[in-house]
Structure 1
Amino acid sequence: MKKKTAATPAAHSEEETSWLARLGPGVVTGAADDDPSGIATYSQAGARFGLNMLWTVLLTYPLMAAIQIISARIGRVSGRGLASNMRRHYPRWILHVTVLMLVVANTINIAADLAAMGDAVRLLVGGPARWYAVGFGLLSLGLQIFIPYHRYVRVLKWLTLAMLAYVAVIFTIRIDWAQVGRAVVWPQASLTRDYITTVVAVLGTTISPYLFFWQASEEVEQMKSQPGGKSIRKEPGKARTELGRIQVDTYVGMGFSNLVAFFIMLTAALTLHAHGVTSIDTSAQAAEALRPIAGDFAFMLFAAGIVGTGLLAVPVLAGSAAYAMAGSFKWASSLEYRPAMAKEFYGVIALATLGGMAIDFLPLDPVRGLYWSAVINGVISAPIMVVMMLMATNRQVMGRFVIRGGLKVFGWLATALMAGTVLALAVTALPLG
């Protein structure tokens, strides 16, 4: 069982002396971004529009990295998560609407991810996909409840290696890199409703609200797990070291995430789209469609990657919802606490996970909704990002560590991009004539 107290100094002596060992929140957050629903979205984009969506992944990298660095800095500088800061400094209705949308979207996302994982196992070994999904859900829930954060985060770090499956897939097919380069620099974009909707879905998958809440909260967790850990505002002498670590951690994590997303989209474009397969509803369907085109090995790598990334993403989705709810209502919240010390926090984790499992048994198709959950994420990201940017430039929140310069510029650019794509989606949705 968990203990409320943080790990002892001895347990963290190696972590304290190894700078690289302290990387984690950014790497785990980036890897969680390529969850099974994200894999399906990137596969759909590649299958439907070929190479003409690859530019979105490259465009989003500096913007995604900037907004995630900002969320991490808010957590580490203030010593509080995003929801806690929103509760202290902004109108309650903004907080409650934001958190409600986040919890609903995350629960649907969990359902889609668990269903995709179950389907992937069924493709690999046969058997009942729904019960595999239940097993994965219970496994994820048990790990979060019974393993302390400083140990559990090591499990999540190792799970990031599952993403290498999508790097490996690209070596099983032939690629005309000159053609790929031309498509990235000069894509054949269009202003059709389908194209813009797909752009919003890709952006909503890449720049997602649950990632903001998770990384800010994990910085707080990492701070608390260190002996005598304090926020940067209370211990400014650590600012240079900690903010530098956050920057490198996040750039590495988001770079890894976007590289994998690029390869998934490229694989779908060069195999599925090139062979006339332009409609992909699920990540498992994308894996299955690969088999006759790219061979059994590519199929197995793709399917195994779905399981690995799902095991990483489900706890991030449930955990970010719990951190947001706990921050909203001033509940005790830490993955280091025993369940008895943070009943409401673990209750939200359980409800989100079990709710996702239950959706998979309803007469609905939860996986069909994952594409639209990505679109919804894109829509709700814009107002959340506005609040985050106001927070990061607010001295009441950040003290003298408010963001400046390039980070501030790229943060607002990311926010404007999300708002612009949502506006474009709204315009294309209007009836014509």
Structure 2
Amino acid sequence: MSAHPVIASSRSRTPSRTRRLGAGLITGAADDDPSGIATYSQAGALWGYTTLWTVVLTLPFMIGIQMICARVGRVTGRGLAANMRGHLPPTFVFGLVVLLLIANVINLAADIGAMGAAVSLLVGGQAWVYASVLVALSLGLEVFLPFGRYAPILKWLTVSLLAYVATAAIVDVPWKMALTEPWPAWPWSASYFVVVVGIFGTTISPYLFFWQASEEVEEEEQSLTESPLIDAPEQAAASFERIRFDTVFGMTYSNFVAFFIIVTASAVLHSHGITDIRAPADAARALEPLAGRAASLIFALGIVGTGLLAIPVLAGSAAYAVSEAVNVRSSLSEKPGGAKVFYRIIVGAMVLGVVVSCLPLDPLRLLFWAAVINGVIAVPLMIAIMWTASHPGVMGSFTVKGWLRWLGWGATAVMGLAVLGMCVA
């Protein structure tokens, strides 16, 4: 993400494609956090290639809802919670935000624990020590580094996801089987259904909605030439084209990597009858005797890289949501003294994440409860997002219409079915 990703100094110049990648790329890559890696690995280990269809089905819906969130931020110059606060019952908005904060802390704990375990697998030693050091590093960068210098670091961390493409290249994948048999297992068992719901929940996640909308606001505020589109409608065409490219690329990249994680787990673990994957490090550990030390090391390094990307996004999205809900300044562009509540939430969320990760809790149980809480808030939150994005009082003449509106409501319906399935299962 660059500080000026949309419009170059001259209007006649078109930004390079690399410069047009920002909030959408980082948001999509952060979706493949260590918790997501655990979910995808478990899916491949348990059910093989019969879960690959989920990453194809969720892609257009993921693109649709994230693009809508980005538009809300770019059009209004405010994040999701700030827009909802002005047009929806405060109790409803604050309730969703509190649940988001709880879910993000649980997710942070799972991700932090996975990072520590991955480093321990690589070099030995105490996992909690490594986890604490990595969180301190991430926290220091997010709090003390100016946004214009911090954003490119997050952007470069997205490269770490290619570790899972490299892992798939190392292991022996029967590609003909992988590409011709990615159909749902039928009839569906309760176990299969829970895995499918877990994939949907980790792919379309509430924390991503708040992060991408607020990052659009950050980028607009950093720019010397941009204003909220509701005040500068002449900038809409270029901004929407950039958001579309950025979001489609970022979400496709995310699901592309998820595809390779499932393929790797299917080819190596499922084919050898290894189905008990309770954490990302379990998958990395199980790869070594079956696919070699290199595959295990690359997989573990990917966990560390994706964790360093995901934990600031998780903490940051919670801070944006809570700060906007209580109407205080929320911006990574501000120094800590200028947005005290915002930065305190970031620090508090990460510290709580470290504490919870050190408790004797089952990592799979942490993921389960994060998925449950995310499921509880996902559908009402997506309904609120769609209502906000369709409201002329919020979006002016830029209300979402046509295919984008259909995708947004489609994503909401898909998540509704997933949550219903989670309750039934």
Partner of 1:431: none
Please report how far the alpha carbon of residue 367 of structure 1 lies from its aligned counterpart in structure 2 after TM superposition. 5.7
CA distances 1:61-116 after superposition (whole Å, capped 9, x unpaired): 11100110001001101111000011001011111111011100101111111110
Partner of 1:3: none
* Distance in 2 separating the partners of 1:426 and 1:368: 16
Question: Are 1:34 and 2:32 matched, yes or no?
Answer: yes
Question: Are 1:167 and 2:165 matched, yes or no?
Answer: yes
* Distance in 2 separating the partners of 1:270 and 1:363: 32
Partner of 1:183: 181
Indicate if the aligned counterparts of 2:173 and 2:264 stay in contact, CA closer than 8 A: no
Name the aligned partner's letter for residue 87 of structure 2: H
Q: Which SS does the other structure have where 1:230 is aligned?
A: coil
Q: Which SS does the other structure have where 2:188 is aligned?
A: coil
Matches within 5 A, 1:44-193: 44-184=42-182, 186-193=183-190
* Distance in 2 separating the partners of 1:405 and 1:392: 13
* Distance in 1 separating the partners of 2:366 and 2:354: 15
Partner of 1:416: 413
Indicate how the Cα distance of structure 1 residues 129 and 14 shifts in structure 2: closer, same or farther if over 3 A, else same. Answer: farther
Q: Which SS does the other structure have where 1:37 is aligned?
A: helix
Please report how far the alpha carbon of residue 380 of structure 1 lies from its aligned counterpart in structure 2 after TM superposition. 2.2
- TM-score, reference length from structure 1: 0.93
Name the aligned partner's letter for residue 400 of structure 1: S
CA distances 1:270-315 after superposition (whole Å, capped 9, x unpaired): 1111101111000001100000111111101100000000000000
Name the aligned partner's letter for residue 94 of structure 1: F
Question: Are 1:332 and 2:329 matched, yes or no?
Answer: yes
CA distances 1:24-70 after superposition (whole Å, capped 9, x unpaired): 00000000000000000000111111111111011001110011000
Please report how far the alpha carbon of residue 241 of structure 1 lies from its aligned counterpart in structure 2 after TM superposition. 0.2
Matches within 5 A, 1:295-306: 295-306=292-303
* Distance in 2 separating the partners of 1:287 and 1:13: 46
Partner of 2:389: 392
Indicate how the Cα distance of structure 1 residues 254 and 8 shifts in structure 2: closer, same or farther if over 3 A, else same. Answer: closer
* Distance in 2 separating the partners of 1:378 and 1:203: 10
Please report how far the alpha carbon of residue 8 of structure 1 lies from its aligned counterpart in structure 2 after TM superposition. 10
Partner of 1:381: 378
* Distance in 2 separating the partners of 1:384 and 1:19: 34
- TM-score, reference length from structure 2: 0.95
Q: Which runs of 5+ in 2 are unaligned?
A: none
Question: Are 1:240 and 2:237 matched, yes or no?
Answer: yes
Please report how far the alpha carbon of residue 373 of structure 1 lies from its aligned counterpart in structure 2 after TM superposition. 1.7
Partner of 1:425: 422
**Aligned residues: percent identity?**
52
Please report how far the alpha carbon of residue 392 of structure 1 lies from its aligned counterpart in structure 2 after TM superposition. 1.0
Question: Are 1:276 and 2:276 matched, yes or no?
Answer: no
* Distance in 1 separating the partners of 2:308 and 2:72: 27
Name the aligned partner's letter for residue 85 of structure 1: N
Indicate if the aligned counterparts of 1:114 and 1:133 stay in contact, CA closer than 8 A: yes
* Distance in 2 separating the partners of 1:29 and 1:105: 17
Indicate how the Cα distance of structure 1 residues 322 and 34 shifts in structure 2: closer, same or farther if over 3 A, else same. Answer: same
Indicate if the aligned counterparts of 1:81 and 1:220 stay in contact, CA closer than 8 A: yes
Name the aligned partner's letter for residue 196 of structure 2: V
Indicate if the aligned counterparts of 1:36 and 1:306 stay in contact, CA closer than 8 A: yes
Query: Of residues 213, 218, 225 in structure 1, which corresponds to 2:215?
Result: 218
Q: Structure 1 residues 241-250 or 371-380, which shifts more?
A: 371-380
Q: Which SS does the other structure have where 1:89 is aligned?
A: coil
Name the aligned partner's letter for residue 142 of structure 1: G
Q: Which SS does the other structure have where 2:359 is aligned?
A: coil
* Distance in 1 separating the partners of 2:348 and 2:115: 19
Q: Which runs of 5+ in 1 are unaligned?
A: 1-6, 429-433
* Distance in 1 separating the partners of 2:398 and 2:231: 12
* Distance in 2 separating the partners of 1:264 and 1:415: 26
CA distances 1:240-286 after superposition (whole Å, capped 9, x unpaired): 00010000000000000000001001110111111011110000011
Name the aligned partner's letter for residue 45 of structure 1: A
Name the aligned partner's letter for residue 381 of structure 1: A
* Distance in 2 separating the partners of 1:396 and 1:178: 52
* Distance in 1 separating the partners of 2:275 and 2:358: 28
Indicate if the aligned counterparts of 1:204 and 1:376 stay in contact, CA closer than 8 A: no
* Distance in 1 separating the partners of 2:85 and 2:172: 52
Indicate how the Cα distance of structure 1 residues 178 and 187 shifts in structure 2: closer, same or farther if over 3 A, else same. Answer: farther
* Distance in 1 separating the partners of 2:263 and 2:27: 22
Aligned residues: 420
Name the aligned partner's letter for residue 102 of structure 2: V
